[in-house]
Amino acid sequence: DGGITQSPKYLFRKEGQNVTLSCEQNLNHDAMYWYRQDPGQGLRLIYYSQIVNDFQKGDIAEGYSVSREKKESFPLTVTSAQKNPTAFYLCASSPWTGGDRYGYTFGSGTRLTVV
């Protein structure tokens, strides 16, 4: 079945460490997105990519980095510069930016906790 796989489901990070969240899709979608979810704040866009080897900052890109070397993969690195990284991270994809009739297809998320 086609879909988006995010791993790991839970991730613990020590302060000062970089961590990378994985996102893989087999839907042949061109566009991919990373959102951050905090209680009471909805989903905020971190980065998005419209095509391989290209990506754009979203609303809260500071302290994060991404790469898009393959169509299927859009990993997110949470760097030590991110002051408050504890959150739930959702990856999504769509055939093109702005979404198709379903909006986006979402992964099941990674919950990152800084210890």
Which residues of this chain interact with other proteins, rule CB under 8 A?
Answer: 33, 35, 40-45, 48, 50, 56, 58, 88, 90, 92, 97-99, 101-104, 106-109, 111
CB 60 within 8 A of CB 45: yes
Rounded to a whole number of angstroms, the minimum distance from the CB of residue 80 to other proteins is 25
Q: Give phi and psi for 29, each to the nearest 5.
A: -85, 140
Q: Would you tell me how many other CB atoms lie within 10 Å of the CB of residue 53? A: 10
Question: Looking at beta carbons only, is 33 or 64 nearer to other proteins?
Answer: 33
Rounded to a whole number of angstroms, the minimum distance from the CB of residue 22 to other proteins is 15
Rounded to a whole number of angstroms, the minimum distance from the CB of residue 34 to other proteins is 11
Signed CA dihedral, 111, 57, 77, 102: sign only: positive
Rounded to a whole number of angstroms, the minimum distance from the CB of residue 65 to other proteins is 19
Question: Looking at beta carbons only, is 1 or 15 nearer to other proteins?
Answer: 1
DSSP code, position 72:
T
Peptide bond between residue 8 and the one before it cis (omega within 30 degrees of 0):
yes
Question: Looking at beta carbons only, is 83 or 101 nearer to other proteins?
Answer: 101
Amino acid found at 97: T
